[in-house]
Structure 1
């Protein structure tokens, strides 16, 4: 078969059912082979960044590699933001990029760049296929690397001239994902350390999700009465309404929740790389705390904080093993106190004085089914979601730990393709939404019915906040022009709404839910309330 047909066969063997792309002449043979393969749907987007964000969101939802195709340097550059997101978010993804023909390389050919070198620092692996007969080996390895260990993106460069060459192809077996377990001595060390603890705390990250270990984590926490905080933008790995859930470590985390970490004497870090945001600039895990760090990737252990106990394990296997140990519990009162602290900052009564963003979280909580999935873009508007919305089931949240703008809506499209029967809602600011707004047309073309909430305050709000903190009143480059997102949506054939009160939002949202169609709800907000806890006036030193 041809090299292009072999690539498609590799995808089929791995049960890949969706591929996202912007078409390019450099990989037309692959598109032709995909035309003949009826088990794989091809979603053609308006921009490579949008296509790759869809693939990344799809991968987060399915826990299988997201596949995206684009052409040479220009397409690769456009989707680099999503490769970086997949790398920081530990999302399995395989990117196929058309490349200049082998005989033209090194001459600054049309749209030429060394793709292996270009992506080497933001991908788990970048490789160029130079021999057509090695396609099954290298593409099979790319899919394996993307989904094993700490998942991540792999970039495969495909010189245009190799794709139509026919050769005998040999396909090896699909390699199962390794699932290592803790050693007996490691379990004994954990038991000894926890037996001396007075205020232990679990920080749970994305590794729990990718191992599908949410229920095991709940069982382990319940057996040992251990409080749990979720790492940055991993809200749905533990039920937020559970009596052992005590908060989320992210941007603008309330002081009372940070205090929980400060008071802890033993930290159990499960499936988290203990990122800058989660650890509040690498500050909250102090030398006086004992650290038990369990992760499937040896390179994560000790990269930020040296642990007292290091365990390389699959999260499900590791947690099942840890559940078997028996520990004397001495921290019931502390757990209760910290749950009450979380509830105090996340479940206060909403009043008329609260800004519309706060009311919207209550409305979403009341109207959405518990298994609805929410995505968000980067921006201060997400602070209200992170603080006040309670995620009660697994696979109900997808957000970029990389902080990429333009992510929320295309990621929601990918999630909806993964879960067609779920209600999917994306949250974006006006700045981020405009970065990938063209993908609304993609959603129309493929009939992907999500509900997009756009918080419009006519500025890059997060940057304006930092600008006011460091350079008060010297506003430059952060104000944006007025756009009617309602009219923009309607021009693409999307149901559009514009609201500026909680009541108007509730009416529009109920209607969008009832109709079950693609919808954009534009929420007009004021610039003054720039974050959950700050106003522009207060940042400038006013009251």
Structure 2
């Protein structure tokens, strides 16, 4: 078979049913091989960046490996934002890049670049295949590397002539994801550390989602009555309406919720890499706190905080092992009053009083209405930007696998991620939230949504600025605004030109009816929500930031 045909057969082995990309002349042999394969659908997008976001989100919601195709230097450069996002999100992603013909390499051929060096720092592994007989070896290894340990992106550079060549190619069976389990000695050490804890706290991260360990985490937390806080953009690791859920560590987390972590005497970190945002600028934990860190990737242990106990294990296998052991001394001194108090603090700061403003938009009321109207299993995607603070602070994710966000903070993510999520889970309602700045970065994917009949609803929070950048400008250089102000099209007319359901909301009272119509339309939809630019974040206005800066001076 040809190298291209071998790749398609490996995709089938791995259970891949969708691949995403923009066609390129350097991988036409692969496109031709896909033409004959009815079990795999090639989703053509309007930009490789959108394709990589779709593939990443598709892999996230389906539990499979996302696959994206691109061509040479320009396609690779365009889709690199999704590769970085997959790395930050710990999402398994395989990138197949067409490369210039082998005999042209090293001559600065048309769109030639060393793709392995280009991607080397933002992926788990990058390799160029020079021999058709090694295509099965490298492509199957790519899938194994992408989904093993801490999952992430792998990039394969494939010269056009190697794809077209034929050879006697033999495929190995698809590999399974390794799921290491803690030793009995590690379990004993875990309970030894936990035995005297009065205020233990679980910080749960992406490893819980990736191991499908949400139910095991809930059982463990309930067994010992240990509260749970979610790492950055991992809202759905634990039901937010559960009495043991105490918040989410984000940008601008309410200080009272951050205090829950600071008051804990023992931290059980499960599947989190302790990112800058989760740790509130690497300043969250103190040497006085005991730390137990469980992660499938050895390199994560001690990378930020040196643990008293580090366990290399799959999150679900670790939790099942801890739940199964009935012989060892167990925690008996947990302060249940403290646990209840921290839950009350979370509820106090995140409960929204109902209002029905007819003159302007309060973004809290938009989130409250979403909560009321969406089914509990609806999938929410969101872009980067200050508008997301309202979602992060006030929306309650009550079921697992209902949130898809970019830990990388990539703008332009929400819409293409929603399309990937809907293709992966067509049975679910999918809603994307974006600011006007981020939405315009991938707005062209509305055409992709229309062409493939993908009914997602996009909410555009429009304040005519890059809001998070404006906030930082005002904090550091008040009144000296440069580069963050934006002009925008008429979003309603723009949406209509694409053929999608389109509406504009200028007050809270309008939103429920418009949102219901968009959900019922069963077609791609956008709703522009006109926001007050003065309300720059959940907790601050532009005026309050300027006043605080004046007092400091």
| 2:405 is the alignment partner of 1:404 | no
**Rounded Cα–Cα distance in structure 2 between residues aligned with 1:192 and 1:335:** 21
| 2:113 is the alignment partner of 1:107 | no
Q: Are 1:66 and 1:92, in contact at CA under 8 Å, matched by a contact in 2?
A: yes
Q: Are 1:224 and 1:329, in contact at CA under 8 Å, matched by a contact in 2?
A: no
**Rounded Cα–Cα distance in structure 2 between residues aligned with 1:215 and 1:154:** 30
TM-score by length of 2: 0.97
Displacement of 1:330 in angstroms is: 2.3
Displacement of 1:160 in angstroms is: 1.2
Q: 1:516 aligns with which of 514, 522, 526?
A: 522
Name 1:201's counterpart in structure 2. 201
Q: 2:537 aligns with which of 526, 531, 534?
A: 531
Name 1:336's counterpart in structure 2. 340
Q: Map 1:278-289; keep pairs closer than 5 Å.
A: 278-289=278-289
Displacement of 1:352 in angstroms is: 5.7
Question: Which deviates the most, 509-518 or 531-540?
Answer: 509-518
Q: Map 1:291-310; keep pairs closer than 5 Å.
A: 291-310=291-310
Q: Map 1:375-454; keep pairs closer than 5 Å.
A: 375-454=381-460
Q: Map 1:25-36; keep pairs closer than 5 Å.
A: 25-36=25-36
**Rounded Cα–Cα distance in structure 2 between residues aligned with 1:356 and 1:524:** 10
Displacement of 1:324 in angstroms is: 3.0
Displacement of 1:328 in angstroms is: 1.5
Name 2:21's counterpart in structure 1. 21
Displacement of 1:347 in angstroms is: 0.8
Aligned structure 1 segments of 4 or more residues deviating by more than 6 angstroms: none
Q: Map 1:462-501; keep pairs closer than 5 Å.
A: 462-501=468-507
Displacement of 1:331 in angstroms is: 1.7
**Rounded Cα–Cα distance in structure 2 between residues aligned with 1:484 and 1:455:** 13
Name 1:58's counterpart in structure 2. 58
Displacement of 1:327 in angstroms is: 2.6
Q: Map 1:91-490; keep pairs closer than 5 Å.
A: 91-325=91-325, 326-351=330-355, 355-490=361-496
Secondary structure at the counterpart of residue 369 of structure 1: coil
Displacement of 1:462 in angstroms is: 0.4
Displacement of 1:512 in angstroms is: 1.0
Secondary structure at the counterpart of residue 126 of structure 1: strand
**Rounded Cα–Cα distance in structure 2 between residues aligned with 1:440 and 1:331:** 52
Name 2:7's counterpart in structure 1. 7
Secondary structure at the counterpart of residue 20 of structure 1: strand
Displacement of 1:355 in angstroms is: 4.6
**Rounded Cα–Cα distance in structure 2 between residues aligned with 1:473 and 1:352:** 33
**Rounded Cα–Cα distance in structure 2 between residues aligned with 1:341 and 1:3:** 59
Q: Are 2:13 and 2:173, in contact at CA under 8 Å, matched by a contact in 1?
A: no
**Rounded Cα–Cα distance in structure 1 between residues aligned with 2:395 and 2:527:** 18
TM-score by length of 1: 0.99
Displacement of 1:185 in angstroms is: 1.0
**Rounded Cα–Cα distance in structure 2 between residues aligned with 1:250 and 1:114:** 37
Secondary structure at the counterpart of residue 540 of structure 1: helix
Q: Are 1:380 and 1:461, in contact at CA under 8 Å, matched by a contact in 2?
A: yes
Displacement of 1:320 in angstroms is: 0.6
Name 2:82's counterpart in structure 1. 82
For the aligned residue pairs, the C-alpha RMSD in angstroms reads 1.1
User: Any idea what the Cα deviations from partners look like across 1:176-209, whole Å, max 9, x if unmatched?
Assistant: 1111111111111111111111110000001011
**Rounded Cα–Cα distance in structure 1 between residues aligned with 2:511 and 2:353:** 19
Aligned pairs, how many?
543
User: Any idea what the Cα deviations from partners look like across 1:285-324, whole Å, max 9, x if unmatched?
Assistant: 1111110000001011111111000100011110011123
**Rounded Cα–Cα distance in structure 2 between residues aligned with 1:132 and 1:376:** 41
Unpaired runs of at least 5, structure 1 = none
Q: Are 2:197 and 2:331, in contact at CA under 8 Å, matched by a contact in 1?
A: no
Displacement of 1:382 in angstroms is: 0.4
Secondary structure at the counterpart of residue 203 of structure 1: strand
Question: Which deviates the most, 51-60 or 512-521?
Answer: 512-521
Q: Are 1:423 and 1:450, in contact at CA under 8 Å, matched by a contact in 2?
A: yes
Q: Are 2:356 and 2:509, in contact at CA under 8 Å, matched by a contact in 1?
A: no
**Rounded Cα–Cα distance in structure 2 between residues aligned with 1:129 and 1:36:** 24
Q: Are 2:361 and 2:506, in contact at CA under 8 Å, matched by a contact in 1?
A: no
Question: Which deviates the most, 365-374 or 173-182?
Answer: 173-182
Q: Are 1:94 and 1:153, in contact at CA under 8 Å, matched by a contact in 2?
A: yes
Secondary structure at the counterpart of residue 464 of structure 2: coil
**Rounded Cα–Cα distance in structure 2 between residues aligned with 1:28 and 1:63:** 28
Q: Are 1:355 and 1:529, in contact at CA under 8 Å, matched by a contact in 2?
A: no
User: Any idea what the Cα deviations from partners look like across 1:454-494, whole Å, max 9, x if unmatched?
Assistant: 00111000000000000000111000013211111110111
**Rounded Cα–Cα distance in structure 2 between residues aligned with 1:5 and 1:482:** 45
User: Any idea what the Cα deviations from partners look like across 1:318-372, whole Å, max 9, x if unmatched?
Assistant: 0011123433242211100000000001114144679521110000000000000
